Structure 1
């Protein structure tokens, strides 16, 4: 293995260890009891349940991360990346198309390998703590739509990057500009075109709640076009709200 390969492996290990330390510190602090001053605010049973949930989620993330890291290392050290390249060169040798197929193949493989962990997280961990509302049909639909969207969006961005590196003399600068524009564009595209593929958006009718939201938004000078009710509870009972655009 060359020096660059060793540096990359060390960097991957360092990132994993850093995340491990951060999660450990988070667990250590989350196990502290509720201060007496807050006993009348926090329900102790719910607080203990939240601690257990955090531990379960953290351990699952640790197992998932460890497994994916080991798979990556084994695939690398056994020459898997090179074998994949040689295999795809029998299909095409056009640099841009080859790079696109190569990266998307790795993306799809990574998604499929991590799928069992996503299933366990949704139907075991979330179910155990009473949060899961996802049906098998919804889960399968989400996975298919997410994979197709990822292929389209990542494929589009990757194609742009590969073309830039193939033909531009200032590839890094131009790529930075392209990725920045792409990322900002997604911020505007997602609420209108992507999110509705997964959830229903129903405009909030005139009501006391809408009036209060509008009054507060005006008070803090926050401009908005509309307020929607989203059927997020069909997947999880976690409380949630967001603004975007």
Structure 2
């Protein structure tokens, strides 16, 4: 069974993922030999080289993850199970299962640190993005691991309890996970994000008045407009609306204010408000819920013989570890569904945002974002199909009737 499971992982996930990345790599490499579009030649070449480097990392990580998957299936699950059972730490069936899952998650996260470090501290610095120090990197890493242990442990305990308490545990487990996602989205702006960044109220009164007028025009009630000190870690530009209900807030990266005109900023925020107007966030949550139920359902149907052949017990800990291991495989084939609806929503949000400013203002702001974020403006259709939640810039500009 172990060999068959690894073979399925390779055929269904590893090979398709690598093939799609290779197609994208060849597409960009060929595009770099042709006349630049949208971006100035120097920026176009730099964006292409950055994309190629990211794809090399992605391909390497796919193979590393496959080796890690094989390790867990062949040896890791048995080792973790034996350790928890032999040393009985901590005591209690539920806590033992939580300890198993946390050990699995923490080991996997620690082993992936080299990829994270190379991307953020070497590659991103080379291309002028990352500004964080090694100290900040380590502190963020420790904060993330701490949240995994504390908050993740609490959620895992509830999931373990659900598995042992309910006959149709997969349904209630998916429902609980969905509630947690909604709760995290609600708490993120005021409780989680401030652990990593500082948020200060917008001081530009003219810009604040324009943004507040924009919010009123679409009935968006927020708890304030805030500037996030993104520049202490990264030079990329972004803005977003976070939270639900009274926790909703407008967040602007400090890097954005110096790079984009007021009209462009209004157009970008108008685009984000388009998502609010058309309930795109609720739709995304619904789609995420469907994915969660699909993953939990698949794991919930695994027979006792499956665990016998893996030489592990069919307990809550092993069920949830297998869920985490197999989720990327299922999500890879679910991503095109998410991407299809998301790209349609982006076109609709672009149209709404341009109506609040102008098509010209939004188009120029998008070009500025792509330029500053070093996003290559063209992609292979297969890569778009699997991974793009936003249409490629060229297609968005055409929809905005922008001439280039």
- Scaled by the length of structure 2, the TM-score of the pair is 0.55
Unpaired segments of 5 or more residues in structure 1?
A: none
- Where does residue 103 of structure 2 map in the other structure? 105
- Where does residue 296 of structure 2 map in the other structure? none
Asked if residue 117 in structure 1 is aligned to residue 132 in structure 2, the reply is no
- Equivalent position SS for 2:149: helix
Match of residue 55, structure 2, among 55, 58, 61: 58
- Where does residue 241 of structure 1 map in the other structure? 239
Quick one: distance in 2 between partners of 1:157 and 1:8?
28
Match of residue 84, structure 2, among 88, 93, 114: 88
Closer/same/farther in 2, CA of residues 30 and 219 from structure 1, 3 Å limit: farther
Between 1:207-216 and 1:136-145, the stretch displaced more is 207-216
- Where does residue 206 of structure 2 map in the other structure? 208
Quick one: distance in 2 between partners of 1:68 and 1:62?
10
- Equivalent position SS for 2:148: helix
Match of residue 46, structure 1, among 37, 43, 57: 43
- Where does residue 280 of structure 2 map in the other structure? none
Runs of 4+ in structure 1 displaced over 6 angstroms? none
Q: What do residues 61-114 of structure 1 show as CA deviations (whole Å, max 9, x unaligned)? A: 22122113213313432x232122111112326321111111100111111111
Quick one: distance in 1 between partners of 2:34 and 2:57?
28
Q: What do residues 105-163 of structure 1 show as CA deviations (whole Å, max 9, x unaligned)? A: 01111111111221111221111111110111111100000111112222122111110
Question: Do 2:17 and 2:62's aligned partners in 1 also have CA atoms closer than 8 Å?
Answer: no
Shift of 1:220: 3.4
Quick one: distance in 1 between partners of 2:192 and 2:33?
40
Shift of 1:33: 5.5
Q: What do residues 161-199 of structure 1 show as CA deviations (whole Å, max 9, x unaligned)? A: 110111122312211221111110010111111110000
Q: What do residues 12-70 of structure 1 show as CA deviations (whole Å, max 9, x unaligned)? A: 2222222222222333333426997x85x521110110110011011112212211321
The alignment covers a number of residue pairs equal to 239
Cα RMSD of the aligned pairs, angstroms, is 2.1
- Where does residue 196 of structure 1 map in the other structure? 194
Quick one: distance in 1 between partners of 2:207 and 2:9?
48
- Where does residue 140 of structure 1 map in the other structure? 138
Between 1:95-104 and 1:20-29, the stretch displaced more is 20-29
Between 1:10-19 and 1:158-167, the stretch displaced more is 10-19
Quick one: distance in 2 between partners of 1:76 and 1:7?
10
Match of residue 6, structure 2, among 2, 9, 14: 9
Closer/same/farther in 2, CA of residues 159 and 67 from structure 1, 3 Å limit: same
Between 1:65-74 and 1:215-224, the stretch displaced more is 215-224
- Scaled by the length of structure 1, the TM-score of the pair is 0.89
Quick one: distance in 2 between partners of 1:33 and 1:63?
22
